[in-house]
C-alpha cells in the first residue's frame, strides 16, 4: 500500500487490528495500536473497541478495563459498542458484580440505552 504511494489512515489500521484480534493475534494488534500513536494518529473508538473485544474474548477483561481507562484518559469517547464489549466481557468472565457496577454507573450518567441494558442483563443471567 505504502509502496504504491497510499498512506494508511485510522480506518485502515482499525481494520487491520480488528482482523488480528479475530485471529487471536492480540499482541500484534497492540503493536499496530502503538504504531498508530507513534505516527501521531489519534486512535478512535473503533480501534480501541477492536482490541477491547480481542482482550475480552481472551478473558483478559482486567487488561480491557485498563485499556478502557487509557482510552478515556486520552480523550477518546467510548461509544455504545465499547460499553457492550466491556459489560459482556465482564459477565462472560463471571465478574457479574463488576458488570452490574459498570452498567449502573452508565445508567446513572444517562449513557445507556434500553438495548444495551437488555444485552448486559441477559449476559449477566447466563
Identify whether the C-beta of residue 96 lies closer than 8 Å to the C-beta of residue 90: yes
| More confidently predicted of 11 and 109 | 11
| More confidently predicted of 77 and 5 | 77
Count the alpha carbons within 13 Å of 64 in the hemisphere toward its beta carbon. Answer: 29
List pLDDT tens digits, range 8-47.
899 999 999 999 999 999 999 999 999 999 999 999 999 9
Confidence check: pLDDT of 80 > 90: no
- The pLDDT of residue 23 is 94
Confidence check: pLDDT of 67 > 80: yes
Residue boundaries of the structural domains of the chain:
1-78, 79-126
Closest by Cα among 46, 108, 54, 43 to 80: 46
444495551: which residue's cell?
116
Lowest mean pLDDT across 1-10, 36-45, 46-55: 1-10
List pLDDT tens digits, range 90-104.
988 888 888 888 887
pTM above 0.95, yes or no: no
Identify whether the C-beta of residue 13 lies closer than 8 Å to the C-beta of residue 47: yes
**Mean per-residue pLDDT, 71-96:** 90
Cα separation of the two ends of the chain: 44
Closest by Cα among 112, 53, 119 to 85: 53
Mean pLDDT for the chain?
86
Amino acid at each position: 500500500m505504502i509502496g504504491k504511494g497510499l498512506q494508511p489512515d485510522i480506518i485502515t489500521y482499525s481494520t487491520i487490528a480488528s482482523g488480528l484480534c479475530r485471529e487471536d493475534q492480540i499482541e500484534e494488534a497492540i503493536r499496530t495500536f502503538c504504531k498508530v500513536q507513534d505516527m501521531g494518529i489519534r486512535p478512535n473508538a473503533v480501534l480501541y473497541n477492536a482490541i477491547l473485544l480481542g482482550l475480552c474474548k481472551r478473558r483478559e477483561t482486567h487488561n480491557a478495563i485498563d485499556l478502557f481507562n487509557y482510552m478515556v484518559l486520552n480523550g477518546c469517547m467510548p461509544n455504545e459498542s465499547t460499553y457492550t464489549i466491556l459489560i459482556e466481557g465482564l459477565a462472560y468472565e463471571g465478574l457479574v458484580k463488576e458488570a452490574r457496577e459498570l452498567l449502573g454507573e452508565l445508567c446513572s450518567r444517562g449513557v445507556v440505552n434500553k438495548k444495551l441494558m437488555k444485552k448486559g442483563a441477559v449476559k449477566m443471567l447466563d
